[in-house]
Structure 1
Amino acid sequence: MRAEGAAPEDGARGFRARLMAPLLLGSVLNPINSTMIATSLVAIARDFHVGAADTAWLISAMYLASAVAQPAMGRLADRLGPRRVFVAGLVTVLAAGLLGALAPAFPLLIVSRVVLGVGTSAAYPAAMAILRTEAERVGRGTPRAVLGRLSLAALGSAAVGPALGGLLAATAGWRAVFAVNVPLALAALACALAWLPADGRAGAERTADPKAAHAPPRTAVRTAPPAGSLDPLGIALFAATLTVAMFFLLDLAHPRWPLLAPAAALAAVLAWWQLRHPEPFLDLRMLARNGALLRTYLRHGLAYLVIYCVLYGYSQWLEQGHGYSAFHAGLIMLPMSGAAAVCSLAGARTKGIRAPLTAAAACLAAGSGVCLLLDGGTPLALLLLAGALFGIPQGLAATGNQAAVYAQAPADGIGAAAGFQRTAQYLGAITASSLIGLLYGQRATDAGLHEIAVAGLALGLLLLVLTAADRTLRPRPPAPAQPPVTARHTGNASPTHTHH
């Protein structure tokens, strides 16, 4: 038997189906709940005698909770152990689903959505931390295809969410949209308890390996989650700052200018506290040194700002500006979902990061350019093309930026780093919603769509520049080959010694 064969065999056992099943099940809960509620808002408003402005809080409340909870849950995963946080998140989802299904009053329904946002936010950052630990255990990096499955699970579940929500609401009533989280969470919980490795076990296995002593320090696996403060004050200040900022972004058509002062004050206090804390929740010094990670967050937020503008604004224009029914508008949007899924798989098979991100930015600019040509008489083929052009960057940006975060984040902070990536995405979503309201006003028109397209074109070109100028995204040259080992010489002669 060859000793060098052990490593590949161990690596082959890594990232197996039993490990991935609970991670994928947990990762679909947040995106599917983000979109599944859309087709139930009318029925909820009717039953509780509230208006559209009130039901909009069911969407905004979950976005707000998720934007704050994703990095917070990532921090907990880094400190307490990802499996513990993953399981606790599923239990929270289970409770939120029951609360929503049984809620006797509308305010409790909003509370259910907030709790749902917190619970579902645990899965993605904890999954990223678990994958990093598994990579260290088997002694190789996490394959891009594995990371791509997480992206595909999120994209696919978000795409089927409205259809699933409509089916549940039509057959069992809108409460089923909340109740469906119970069996989903139970299935994921059963898989997690049965198959996810206990926190710290990987380190023990690695230590038992006699070759572990020769492993480079970079791949060393800790035997237990690091001790240290969770920085609850830092988390609270971050949540307060982000919440006030998001309340300002929620309605750009009627800006709440007085909110800027408390937002700035909270941000200043947050920065002061994080700079003096020995183990801060938001490590500003690390981010200042890690410009590559900051640029990844910026790219991700800008890309999803454009993507969400189209996801919500384009479908609304198809109905009000072009005259399609909601059903037909949904069919026209299908190429976007299909292209996103296909490109997510393609991005997962790509070794580099720069190429897919460049293609994503180019497609955002091209799709926005096509939208400038659309009007009430545009043929169906061009409408389908516009949707597909925006589906391509949705898949490539998700997998590309996810791989960038995984490569750029510190090993002991991958959970929090992944959570901040999702926060950037949610900030883009909320800004897009406000931008649509600002440019459309009371009705989606051709002029409003063209203004959205101009903004998308400008942001797409900006993303192209940011991606091309980022040297950290360029592939690294291969390491120089080591000189061959020559035969050992005997006596005092050296390899280069010449006998006369």
Structure 2
Amino acid sequence: MSVRSRWLMISVGLGVLLNPLNSSMISIAIARLQNVYSLDFTAVSWIIFSFYIASAVAQPVMGKASDLFGRRKIFLSGLVISFVASLLAPLSPNFGWLIVFRIVQSIGTSMIVSVGMAIVRIHITEKQATALSVLSIFLSGAAAIGPFIGGVLIHWWDWPAIFLVNIPFVVTSFLLAWRNIPKDEPPTSVAQGMSFRKWFELIDATGVLLFTIGLVALLVGLLSAKSSGHISFRHVIIGSIGLVSLGVFVRHELKAKSPFIPLRTFAKYPAMTWVNVEFILVNLLFYSLFFGLPSYLQMVRHVSEFHTGILMLSLGLCSLVVSPLAGRWIDKSGPRPALLVSGILMTLGSVWIVTLNETSPVISVCLALAAFGISNGLNNVGMQTALFRSSPKEIIGVASGVFMTSRYLGTILSSLLLGIVMGDKFSAGGFRLLGVILTVIALSLVFMSWRHRDSHPSQES
């Protein structure tokens, strides 16, 4: 790999790590934000919802935008937006403004991620597989060490530091990207002559709007009812608006020429559909622990942010170590054995959560974290391989986009589950109930993996 290619890799890598870093650091900050803004757990969980809903919408939209306006422009614009959001978030006068800046940050980092991989594919032609694997290390590594970094920063400098820490990454990435990412090709005549109406049709603006309104309204209705302790007429109306919007969204997507979520593809390729359903459940289970355990440690066990970050590091490191080993295993045996072992480990980890009490040694939490970390490493490779095997080559790009949407849906559902189970206060009893629910989900994944059959695109297309 040439020197210029290496610098290009570094500039893109420093940018793309911002999304997973910020989505993982926040897990340590939830308890602190709850105290600072005097909020219950249900309300503060919107710091998670907002980021993932915005990412689910922004990444596919910005991917399409880059084809028209240029990947370099989108990448650099994303860095500027991330810089502004990271600078202003610590100055938020209230929690509402913090959510706004969190959404802006999600959009900016999503712009970077949506084009980062494409920039590497296009401009690094020698040893491309190595380059892509290095980029994945930036992504997975940032997610793995995010809770540890968050714990250290909050322990020494309080919660604003988890936003300010982005600034050196953003500035360095911008300066290197400005110098090393080649300028975009002139826009095609199609892009130059495209009207706003055509552009809205291309990104399926109607579908995006219906999806966002439906999801947000449904979440507000459910979580408001849980937080208040009773179901009022207002909660029913808001929840109904969400359900109706999602129903209209489904109808619209079935007719749209360029759908935001290609629902017809699910009906046409059932094997691919089941992979995505399984992936939603995997992320629901994993992120329920990822966001729930730090709050349990800090609010119930009174563990410091610093030590919580150290404990969470065991999860990330197990995942990083297992991923390359899982790749070799899956290359030889296919995804089914790895996914089955992953389901068993998640079941054991979930059962272990149920057995925890307020006198259990804190170090014993590492056993559950190790089980989930190893299973996450197996899932990272196994689910991706299962997707490729179940998806015909001609729609692999669409399949990858749907796969990412499934990840975000699973993460959003994990936050919803935490909000419903915990309500206004994180408790030991609530955490044990969460463990019971996660055990049921893990057993479902074991059953699905046991019944899984490796499918080949050629047989389905």
Structures share a fold, TM > 0.5? yes
Aligned position for 1:388: 370
User: 1:194 matched to which residue of 2?
Assistant: 179
Name the CA shift for 1:76/1:242 in 2 (closer, same or farther; >3 Å): farther
Deviation at 1:14, TM superposition (A): 13
The answer to whether 1:184 aligns with 2:169 is yes
Change (3 A) 1:154 1:325: closer
Specify whether residues 397 and 13 from structure 1 end up closer, same or farther in structure 2 by C-alpha distance, changes over 3 A only. farther
Is the Cα–Cα contact under 8 Å of residues 45 and 52 in structure 1 kept in the other structure? yes
Q: What does residue 254 of structure 2 align with?
A: 275
Measure how far apart 1:373 and its partner are. Answer: 2.8
Partner of 2:204: 231
| 1:309 equivalent in alignment to 2:302 | no
1:398 equivalent in alignment to 2:380: yes
Counterpart for residue 247 of structure 1: 220
Shift in CA distance, 232/303, structure 1 to aligned 2, threshold 3 Å: same
Question: Is 1:290 aligned to residue 275 of structure 2?
Answer: no
Q: 1:184 to 1:309 in 2, by over 3 A?
A: same
Deviation per CA, 1:113-157: give whole Å up to 9, x if none: 11111111123332344456579x679878884574254234234
Using the TM superposition, give the Cα deviation of residue 268 of structure 1 relative to its aligned residue in structure 2, in angstroms. Answer: 3.0
Q: Name the CA shift for 1:319/1:399 in 2 (closer, same or farther; >3 Å).
A: same
Deviations 1:346-372 (A, max 9, x none): 345553444433332221112112223
The 1:384–1:42 alpha-carbon spacing in structure 2 relative to 1, beyond 3 Å, is closer
CA gap 1:297/1:364 in 2 versus in 1, 3 angstroms:
same
Cα distance in 1 for partners of 2:153, 2:99 equals 17
- Aligned Cα root-mean-square deviation (Å): 4.2
- Return the match for 2:154 from 163, 166, 180: 166
Amino acid at match of 2:144: G
TM-score by length of 2: 0.77
Structure 1 unaligned spans of 5+: 1-11, 202-223, 478-500
Query: Cα–Cα, structure 1 residues 127 and 347, in superposed 2: closer, same or farther, change >3 Å?
Result: farther
Q: Is the 8 A contact 1:40 1:169 kept in 2?
A: no
1:52 maps to 39
Contact 1:27 1:153 in 2 (8 A): no
5 Å-filtered alignment, 1:312-461, equals 312-319=291-298, 321-322=300-301, 324-349=303-328, 350-351=330-331, 352-379=334-361, 382-404=364-386, 418=400, 420-441=402-423, 444-461=426-443
The answer to whether the 8 Å contact 1:40/1:165 transfers is: no
- Structure 1 residue 331, shift from structure 2 partner: 3.7
Shift of 1:417: 5.3
| Stretch of structure 1 that moved more, 186-195 or 408-417 | 408-417
Q: Distance in 2 between matches of 1:252 and 1:468?
A: 38
Confirm whether residue 92 of structure 1 aligns to residue 81 of structure 2: yes
Q: Verify the 8 A CA contact 2:151 2:308 in the aligned structure 1.
A: no
Aligned-residue offset at 1:381: 5.4
1:30 corresponds, among 19, 27, 33, to: 19
Q: Following TM superposition, by how much is the alpha carbon of 1:380 offset from its aligned partner in structure 2, in angstroms?
A: 5.1
- Pair 1:200–1:393, CA change in 2 (3 A): farther
Give, in angstroms, the shift of residue 273 of structure 1. Answer: 2.9
1:76 aligns to 2:65 (yes or no): yes
Specify the code of the residue in structure 1 equivalent to 2:150.
P
2:54 aligned partner: 65
Structure 2 residue ranges without an equivalent (≥5): none
CA displacement at 1:17 relative to structure 2: 3.4
Q: Which deviates the most, 51-60 or 178-187?
A: 51-60
Task: For 1:306, give the aligned amino acid.
Answer: L
Residues in 1 aligned to 2:149 and 2:347: alpha-carbon distance in whole angstroms = 27
User: How far, CA to CA, are the matches of 2:64 and 2:18 in structure 1?
Assistant: 20
CA distances 1:238-288 after superposition (whole Å, capped 9, x unpaired): 322332233345457356443342223222332333333323333222333
Amino acid at match of 2:208: I
Higher Rg of the two aligned structures: 1
Contact 1:57–1:110 (8 Å) recurs in 2: yes
